[in-house]
Structures are given as C-alpha cells and as structure tokens.
Amino acid sequence: MDQSSLTISVNSFSPSVNVGPKLVPIPDIFCAVNADDEDIRSNISSNIDRDIPQVVPYETQWDKVVALVVGGPSLDSTLDILKEKHAEGMPVVTVNGSYKYCMDRGIRPSAFIMLDSREFNNRFVDPPHKECKYFICSQCHPSVLDKLDGYETHLWHCAGQDQYQDILEDKYGEIHKDFFPVLGGSTVTLRAIHLMRMLGFPKFEIFGFDSCIMDKHHAYSQPENDGEKEIEVHVAGKQFLCTVAHYHQAKEFVQMVGATGDHYEMIIHGEGLISHIIQSPDALKEAA
C-alpha cells in the first residue's frame, strides 16, 4: 500500500469529539442553504437506501497528520509545500474542486469529502481512482454516488439539520446510537475538520483555507462564485476582501475552534484571512 494512503484505525463507538458550548447564531450576516429543502430531503432518502457504509467514530491515531486541501487561492503559492508533504508520505484529503486540482498536478488524494447538494457539483469527483476513499454527505445529489459506483465510498450526515432528522431516524434509529452526524459550520471545510477528527485524525496541515479573495476567489475556475457580493473585513490592522460566504465562514471558524478546538491541532498554510485570524483570534470584525 502507498505510504500516503489514508488508513483508518479501529472502530470506537464513543464519538471522538466532545462538544462544549453550542455554536451561537451569527447576528449580522446569514447565508441561506443553496438548495431547496424538498430536493435535499429527496437526496437523503435516495442515498441512505443504497448499500453504502456510514461514517462512524474511530480510535484516535495521535501521531497521524493529514493534509487537508481546500480551494482557496493561496493553494497556488503553497503548492510546492503540499507536494513535498505528499512526497514524504502525508495523506492528502481534498474537498470539492481541490480534488481535480491535485490530480492535475500529480498529487493523488487519499480521500475526498463533499457536502454540497446541487447536481452540477458531481463534476468534483471526476476522475475517480481506486486508491481514494470518498466521503459523501447524505444530502449530496445521487448522481455523485452513481459516478462512484465501484469505488470505496462512505456516507456521512450533517448534525444540526433538524428538518431532515426524521428521515435519518426512520432509517437508522435514534441519534448517536445507529448513526453519527458530523459537527461543523456551513461549509465543507468546517465539516471536513470534524469528519476527519471523528475518523481518528487529530492533526491537520491545511492548504487553501483562506476565506478571502486574493486576486481570485478559488485556486481553480469555479464560475458559480463569480460576481458574488464583496465586503471589506479588517482584522488586527490588516484588510481583506471577502465574499459574504467567506466572512460567514471566518466567523463560524472562530466559534467552532472556541467550542471544539481542544480536540485537534492545525497548521494553516498561506497568508489568507483564516491564517491571520489564528494569530489574532479576538480581532475579527466587519468593516464599518
């Protein structure tokens, strides 16, 4: 087996991440779900009826470090570091378009994580490969699983979506007995951190986690995000240009780390907003 493969350890039916204070609502900016509730319900119902194993908690591998690669623009400037880490054997976990970005540059991901429920995002799993483990949220469009037929695929579920809880409970039973919803915020990156922690990985080197615009909004083309509203955000004397979604993610990140940050360690590569927040975690505020 390739030394950079993602090896999951031993099942542990006591969740690896304990939650302290609940995340609090964000009063100034709200991001709406980008799909209709009925479409999401339909996706979940279809996906959980397939013979696909669910994500469950695993024992912690305390010495294991994984590279979590997301799509921010600093991915270009930190690519050489990522390639070096991958060559040294660090498993690479990708989300959305960072999967193909890595594949096109000779980095074969050990795992892929997807959250978004819209059908056109099934492009993110092209091309699949046999050495990759695919962690697909139950709310994703069924066409994603169609493309992954014959590949190692696992379903996971979002915590905090009470409107879909009845579907999961009807299928799996009461919460935290027969299924294990994944904590996190409104983006795949925030969920991915808790998903990988549940799978037993406590240490992350994160690439492309900027939550701001740096000449462009992603390291690769993602036209659905072109033309989004932009705002200025000031953190500890430094100004960043963000979309509303970027800002919302940054706020959620601060809250998430405050609630569960004792359970994982991370290094954020690049010079984006998230990296700056880690250096000044109490300074985040919206520009006047």
pLDDT in tens, 62-113: 999 999 999 999 999 999 999 999 999 999 999 999 999 999 999 999 999 9
pLDDT of residue 23: 31
**Is position 2 within any domain?**
no
Six-digit token string for 135: 């962690």
pLDDT of residue 135: 98
**Is position 141 within any domain?**
yes
pLDDT of residue 2: 55
C-beta of residue 274 within 8 angstroms of C-beta of residue 280: no
pLDDT of residue 6: 77
When comparing pLDDT for 217 and 165, which is higher? 165
Instruction: Report the range of poorest mean pLDDT among 124-128, 173-177, 223-227, 241-245.
Output: 173-177
Instruction: Report the range of poorest mean pLDDT among 148-157, 194-203, 210-219.
Output: 210-219
Instruction: Calculate mean pLDDT across residues 240-259.
Output: 92
pLDDT of residue 155: 97
Six-digit token string for 126: 């092209």
Six-digit token string for 278: 């880690």
Q: Is the pLDDT of residue 282 over 60?
A: yes
Provide the percentage of residues in the chain whose pLDDT is more than 90: 67
Per residue in 189-199, pLDDT tens?
999 999 999 99
The set of residues, in sequence order, having a beta carbon less than 8 Å from that of 236 and lying 6+ positions away, is: 276, 279, 280, 283
- Residues shown for the chain: 288
Confidence band (pLDDT; 50, 70, 90) for 288?
very low
Query: Cα–Cα distance between 214 and 196 in angstroms, integer?
Result: 27
The set of residues, in sequence order, having a beta carbon less than 8 Å from that of 119 and lying 6+ positions away, is: 141, 143
C-beta of residue 131 within 8 angstroms of C-beta of residue 109: no
Q: Where are the beta strands (DSSP E) in the chain?
A: 65-69, 92-95, 111-114, 133-137, 153-156, 203-207, 230-235, 238-243, 265-268, 285-286
202: containing domain: 37-286
Query: Cα–Cα distance between 157 and 178 in angstroms, integer?
Result: 12
pLDDT of residue 95: 96
Please calculate the CA angle 35-248-268 and round it to the nearest 5 degrees. 115
Query: Cα–Cα distance between 131 and 152 in angstroms, integer?
Result: 8
Query: Cα–Cα distance between 191 and 182 in angstroms, integer?
Result: 7
Query: Cα–Cα distance between 192 and 99 in angstroms, integer?
Result: 14
SS3 135: strand
| Single-letter amino acid, residue 37 | D
Burial per residue of 69-79, b for 16 or more beta-carbon CB atoms within 10 angstroms, e otherwise: bbbbbbbeebb
C-beta of residue 189 within 8 angstroms of C-beta of residue 49: no
Please calculate the CA angle 72-74-77 and round it to the nearest 5 degrees. 145
Q: How many separate domains does the chain show? A: 1
**Is position 8 within any domain?**
no
**Is position 280 within any domain?**
yes
**Is position 88 within any domain?**
yes
**Is position 264 within any domain?**
yes
**Is position 64 within any domain?**
yes
Q: What's the alpha-carbon Rg for the chain, to the nearest Å?
A: 18
pLDDT of residue 217: 77
Average pLDDT, the chain: 85
Cis preceding linkage at 21, omega within 30 = no
pLDDT of residue 31: 39
**Is position 30 within any domain?**
no
